Amino acid sequence: MTPELEGKVALVTGGTSGIGRETAVVFAKAGAKVVVAGRREPEGQETVELIRAAGGEGLFVKTDVSKAPEVEALIHKTIETFGRLDVAFNNAGIEGVWVPITRQSEEDFDRTMNVNLKGVWLSLKYEIRQMTKQGKGGAIVNMASIMGLVGSGAAAAYTASKHGVIGLTKAAALETARGGIRINAVCPGVIETGMADRVFGAPRVHDFVLSRHPVGRFGKPSEVAEAVLWMCSDRSSFMTGQCLILDGGFLAGPNPPT
């Protein structure tokens, strides 16, 4: 069987750790040349080494996705190196500061929105331009969250940013469908990453959040990565403007209030 992304060029933002790193490696194993973007160069180079160890070809480009010139330069470097862009996973994001609205600073709010929402918007803007120029379609997946589908106390900025990503995904999908560019979002529950450890690491918080996942565990980065690969492959060719939920049953039924 031919690998799903054989001969294609893929971009992963926020590819320095966690879900982004895992997806970059999965893309490489599926035959893609992978560009890894992020703010932390040593970690980004580690991801590239993992790609090479998996038999793939990779490139790291230091990028702050909240800054238009850096995102534009990222796409330019991708084309300069590999000649095209076929697949993108707009994964870069931060948890921000989880406090009640009345205690949240304007600086914290702006930073969360700039990375999580504006960063996706900028990535889409330049990715779509390039894919449209190529004229052969493409596939893009945005990182949302189950917090983009429900509310959560003490996480207003993060929740708002992820709701925004879902709305942006739907709007962009409608704009690009005729051109053969498919745009979807993935909405994970809690996944075992450094971000989850920072937010849910306290024992009482960990146990409470775990109790809201009926399967009895948190997700693994590899489980999200495999889903993103499917969304970027021809196997999901009739899917666009959708949000794929991977939450261990979190949203399936009644849960304790947050």
Active site residue 126: no
Helix (H), strand (E) at residue 62? strand 57-62
Strands (E), 91-220: 138-143, 181-188
Burial of 142 (0-12, 13-18, 19+ CB in 10 A): buried
Give me the CATH code for the 9-246 domain, please: 3.40.50.720
Question: What average pLDDT does this structure show over 145-157?
Answer: 91
- Give the pLDDT confidence of 34-44 residue by residue, as tens digits: 999 999 999 99
Helix 156-176, helix 106-113: angle, nearest 10: 30
Question: What average pLDDT does this structure show over 103-126?
Answer: 97
Q: Residue 124: how many CB atoms within 10 A of its CB?
A: 23
Catalytic residue (one of 158, 200, 218, 250):
158
Residue % of the chain over a pLDDT of 70: 98
Question: What average pLDDT does this structure show over 45-50?
Answer: 98
End-to-end CA distance of the chain: 46
Compute the mean pLDDT over every residue in the chain, rounded to the nearest whole number. Answer: 94
pLDDT at 256 over 70: no
| Least confident residue range of 77-91, 129-143, 146-160 | 146-160
Please report where in the chains the tokens 């949240």 appear, as a residue.
Answer: 104
CB 59 within 8 A of CB 12: no
3 or 53, greater pLDDT: 53
- Give the pLDDT confidence of 155-174 residue by residue, as tens digits: 999 999 999 999 999 999 99
Written as one letter, the residue type at 198 is R
Structure tokens at 91: 């994964």
Residue 238 CB partners (closer than 8 Å, separation 6+)? none
* Distance in angstroms (rounded) separating the CA atoms of residues 68 and 65: 7
